[in-house]
């Protein structure tokens, strides 16, 4: 299978947890649904028109956190926008919403860095994405919106790494996994080190046409918060020609 590899980088990120209400909390890594939205936006899909092409059946995606991040809470003064006259902020009923942001450990010198692997099972979609990557543009690789890490004002950068071949494997031996892993794909964690720091978050994976989670559209995902590969015994994984081993979010 052909697997595209790229990085999403930026100074700030916010991936709102689906159960947040009065306070907007963030996931540590972008959910699969967020990655779908970012890639579909770069490819020029209309809003809510890409769910079938990026479904769990037609598209494989996984993510890793390649930089250390921390969370900070800021209050945003939100406006109720019902018309153009409301954009100047003169109307009443402003809402101050505590919002959690992801930032680098040193925001002056560092960036947030997520590595993404994606495989399209539909050849036409793969060719469309490949054309976007190979097209020479002066600024951003996009046919529509710019890259943002969650919220629109968290402007990010898309850095293409390459396209690699990969093969599915199933083994009872432990392997070093470079990506995030669904908890139900893990048989055993076969690694102990002081540098290892793991997080498990329940992430949305797939929406239907009504923007509702599908039956299998939410799972607990394990990942390394330090970017160090985790040695695991998993039910199945994919090995790339680069030597990297990944597990799909599914």
Q: Out of 130-144, 175-189, 206-220, which region has the weakest mean confidence (pLDDT)?
A: 130-144
Residue 140: pLDDT band with limits 50, 70, 90: low
Give yes or no for a contact between 145 and 42, defined as CB atoms under 8 angstroms apart.
Answer: yes
Residues of the chain with pLDDT > 70: what percent?
Answer: 95
> Looking at 21-30, 72-81, 223-232, which range is the least confident one?
72-81
Give the residue with greater pLDDT, 174 vs 78. 174
Instruction: Give, to the nearest 10 degrees, the angle between helix 123-134 and helix 32-43.
Output: 70
pLDDT band at 39, cuts 50/70/90?
very high
Count CA atoms within 13 Å of residue 224 on its CB side. 23
The neighbour count for residue 122, using CB atoms within 10 Å, is 14
Q: Average pLDDT, stretch 174-188?
A: 95
The stretch 140-162 carries a mean pLDDT of 84
pLDDT band of residue 65 (cuts 50, 70, 90) is very high
Region 135-149: mean pLDDT is 71
pLDDT score of 173 more than 80: yes
User: Averaged over 84-102, what is the pLDDT?
Assistant: 81
Q: Would you say 72 and 100 are in contact if contact means Cβ atoms under 8 Å apart?
A: yes
| pLDDT of 203 over the 80 cut | yes
Look up residue 81 and give its two tokens: 């926008």
In this structure, of 37-46, 82-91, 157-166, 208-217, the range with the lowest mean pLDDT score is 82-91
Q: Residues 8-22: what's their mean pLDDT? A: 89
**Global confidence as pTM:** 0.90
Integer Cα distance of 250 and 245 in angstroms: 16
């Amino acid at each position: 299978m052909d697997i595209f590899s790229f990085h999403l980088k930026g100074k700030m990120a916010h991936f709102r947890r689906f159960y947040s209400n009065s306070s907007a909390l963030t996931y540590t890594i972008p959910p699969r649904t967020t990655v779908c939205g970012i890639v579909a936006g770069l490819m020029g899909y209309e809003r809510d028109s890409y769910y079938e092409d990026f479904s769990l059946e037609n598209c494989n995606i996984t993510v890793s956190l390649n930089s250390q991040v921390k969370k900070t809470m800021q209050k945003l003064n939100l406006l109720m926008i019902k018309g153009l006259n409301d954009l100047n902020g003169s109307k009443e009923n402003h809402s101050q919403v505590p919002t959690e942001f992801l930032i680098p450990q040193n925001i002056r010198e560092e960036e947030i860095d997520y590595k993404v692997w994606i495989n399209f099972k539909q050849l036409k979609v793969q060719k469309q994405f490949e054309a976007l990557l190979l097209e020479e543009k002066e600024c951003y690789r996009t046919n529509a919106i710019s890259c943002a890490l969650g919220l629109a004002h968290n402007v990010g950068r898309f850095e293409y790494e390459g396209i690699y071949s990969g093969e599915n494997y199933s083994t009872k031996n432990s392997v070093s996994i470079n990506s995030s892993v669904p908890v139900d794909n893990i048989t055993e964690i076969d690694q102990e080190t002081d540098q290892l720091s793991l997080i498990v978050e329940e992430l949305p994976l797939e929406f239907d046409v009504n923007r509702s989670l599908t039956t299998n559209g939410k799972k607990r995902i394990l990942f390394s918060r330090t970017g160090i590969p985790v040695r695991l015994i998993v039910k199945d994984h994919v090995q790339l020609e680069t030597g990297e081993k990944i597990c799909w979010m599914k």
